[in-house]
Amino acid sequence: MAEGVRAGAATDVGRVRASNEDSLLVGTALFAVADGMGGHAAGEVASAMAVDHLRALDGRDDLRPEDVRAALAEADHAIRAAGRAHPGQAGMGATATGLGLVRVAGSPHWVVFNVGDSRVYRYADDVLTLLTVDHSEAAEMVATGALTAEEARYSRYRNVITRALGVRVPSEPDQWVFPPVPGERFLLCSDGLTGELADDEIAAVLRAVADPAAAAGELVRRAVLAGGRDNVTAVVVDYGHGGTSSADTAPRTTP
């Protein structure tokens, strides 16, 4: 785990789905959530492939934003190729979102990346900020004023993804790069969490629960209790909160 970084994760199949198609990465300096699409085993395969390509970058001292972009492009190609090679996996895809510590002009920076409708939030100074942009028809309708943000949470268009790995060519990821600030906290999550919990409740948990693994577990637990209509995954990353760097690297299924 990179100096000053603590992280923890939790995941749950939810109350409706038969299997968990989410995958996650809690590395030393790279963290990600991928949400599989395609049904049954195919979604699990696609999300695992996305995470595996990112995991190959973890631990590099010279990691750059363009390396993350290249890994996502390779995952996009690999998922599409696997779908062509295996008829049972045809049409599979995955979202991929996350953050990592990279070097920019010799200094450490965060890179936040996103393809699809999984999200990265930043919580600092008691303010929760959504850093990523959903690649969905509902989000596009909010941007044009056709829907309000609250209406979009329940719209049938929120599940119509406009960008994902393995599905469309090209699937260019969004990226944002900025310097780290001590005391900040990040939440990476699949839409199974944001589909059940409003931002106010997410912020309340991040405010109240200091341990990152416990905070991730509490968020997932609440999302399942609220309905659990989809798989739910959360990764919480703290930077510069003091204490020893640590990680709960094993995905936890909440009771």
Tens digit of each residue's pLDDT (9 = 90 or more) over 1-18? 788 999 999 999 999 999
∠ CA 106-67-135, rounded to 5°: 115
- Quick one: which of 120, 137, 136, 108 has its CA closest to 206? 120
pLDDT surpassing 60 at residue 255: no
CATH of range 5-248; options 3.40.50.300, 3.10.110.10, 3.20.20.70, 3.60.40.10: 3.60.40.10
DSSP 113-179: EEESS-EEEEEETTEEEE-S---BHHHHHHHHTSS-HHHHHH-GGGG-BS--BTTSS--PPEEEEE-
Dist. CA 166–CA 122, nearest whole Å:
28
Helix pair 40-55, 65-85: axis angle to 10 deg: 150
Q: pLDDT by residue (tens digit) across 113-154?
A: 999 999 999 999 999 999 999 998 877 887 888 888 777 777
pTM above 0.85, yes or no: yes
Check if the beta carbon of residue 203 is closer than 8 Å to that of residue 149: no
